């Protein structure tokens, strides 16, 4: 696969959208693996730092309501 940005050979894929990127065009990003309710009813999250991000896709800052699913 080729890098989304420069078309040189890619080294990884974006953890969010799947675009392929080379070493010069990836950006580090922190991401959540999962969020759950733990002891004492406390919300907890498992996070990962330095995952691959293409810099092109746009993670949204707020959840999107989807009431039509119920
Ligand atoms: Zn991406």
- C-alpha 40 – ligand 1 centre gap (Å): 36
Give the CA distances from residue 9 to residues 16, 32, 68, in Å, rounded to whole numbers and listed in that order: 20, 28, 42
Average pLDDT over residues 18-25: 97
Phi first, then psi, for residue 68 (nearest 5°) are: -70, -10
Strand 12-13 with 20-21, pairing: antiparallel
Confidence of residue 23 (pLDDT cuts 50, 70, 90): very high
Give tens-digit pLDDT for 26-55.
999 998 889 999 999 999 999 999 999 999
By the 8 A CB rule, do 21 and 54 touch?
yes
Distance 38 CA to ligand 1 centre (A): 30
pTM: 0.75
Residue 56: per-residue pLDDT: 96
**Average per-residue pLDDT for the chain:** 94
Percent of the chain with pLDDT over 90: 83
């Amino acid at each position: 696969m080729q890098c989304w940005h420069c078309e040189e050979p890619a080294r990884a894929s974006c953890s969010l959208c799947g675009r392929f990127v080379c070493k010069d065009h990836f950006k580090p990003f922190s991401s959540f693996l999962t969020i759950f309710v733990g002891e004492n009813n406390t919300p907890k999250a498992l996070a990962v730092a330095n995952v691959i991000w293409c810099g092109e896709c746009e993670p949204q800052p707020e959840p999107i309501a989807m009431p039509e699913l119920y």
